[in-house]
Amino acid sequence: MKKLLAASAIALSIACTATVVAVPTPASAQEIYATNGHLTVNIATSYIGKVTYKFGVRNPSRLTFDCSSFTQYVFAKRGISIPWGSSAQTRFGTRVPSKSQLAIGDLVMFSVNTPGKINHVGIYIGNGQFISNVPSKGVSIDSLRTGYWASRYITGRHY
């Protein structure tokens, strides 16, 4: 009987002693883009003052791009292949439901000529701002919240 009680006590103490293993929860898409998107933004901002805008041009050796060939070039530097053309870039990646859900490094699309038709693209850099290549300034940072671009925003894409 003593052996049975001793064996039961040992078994019970072993069963009640558990090792707790912390299993990390998977990061959300927004967290992943927010932590890696800064790499895309760093590349894009390094071209401020160095790039010339020319519609329909993709010339990396001369640093001459239109808006979508610039975003294509920046993403390629990160090993991410996206098509040329702002409307073509809209068909890839994951749709961002609203401006408030944009993450750093997301593409942002705009309509500048024909209402509702996407014809400009940039890269969200956080704090309601984005970077893009424009005819008047080359690569520059602008606000999504106020001014010219605020009412022309159409959608964003996670890549």
Query: Which residues have a catalytic role annotated?
Result: 67, 120, 133
Calpha distance 82→93 (Å, rounded): 9
C-alpha distances in angstroms, 158 versus 81, 93, 102, 106? 13, 5, 8, 5
What three-state secondary structure class fits 132? strand
Q: Which two tokens stand for residue 79?
A: 């090993």
Cβ neighbors of 10 (< 8 A, separation 6 or more) are: none
In what helix (H) or strand (E) does residue 128 lie, and over which residues does it extend?
A: none
